[in-house]
Amino acid sequence: MKRKRDQRRCRGAAGKIPALIFCAAAVLCIVIWVMRHAQMQEGNEPDVVASRCENNVYDLTVAANCDEIKDAEAFAEKVVQKYEENSFRTTKFSVDLGEDIDLVRFHVYLRREEIGEKEELFQIRYQDGDIILDGINGKR
């Protein structure tokens, strides 16, 4: 009788291991799904990933977060609007320094991972309210 009770205890502990593995796998799947969903939400919105200011010139590195830019002019207007509104997701510009910025240069890449690996897609120059596109050489 004692032997049967010991066997039940062992079987009970062994029966919990698959349930724990199942729960851990389910939690892992949920975490992966949430992370992918967050990445999809962030997609297709240009974002500044680096900035430098020197001699009243802002140099901003922008990741487009898309596979291609079909309309460079519309994209440039969107980037400049986000700059004017200070609404980039990861970078907020300080407005209390009182500096006069003469020129803002946006160095555009499709994805963050391409920075330093590939040449920039093109540049957007924003000066005195004018938007100028430099180096547009078609699709890559």
pLDDT tens-place string over residues 53-79: 888 898 999 999 888 888 999 999 999
Q: What is the 3-state secondary structure (H, E, C) of 37-49?
A: HHHHHHCCCCEEE
Q: Are 10 and 76 in contact (CB under 8 A)?
A: no
- The secondary structure element, H or E, covering residue 3 is helix 2-42
Q: Where are the domains of the chain?
A: 1-42, 47-134
Residues 97-106 have pLDDT tens digits of 556 788 999 9
CA-CA distance, 125 to 104, in Å (whole number)?
6
Burial class (CB in 10 A: 0-12, 13-18, 19+), 116: exposed
Both tokens of residue 44? 């297709």
pTM over 0.85: no
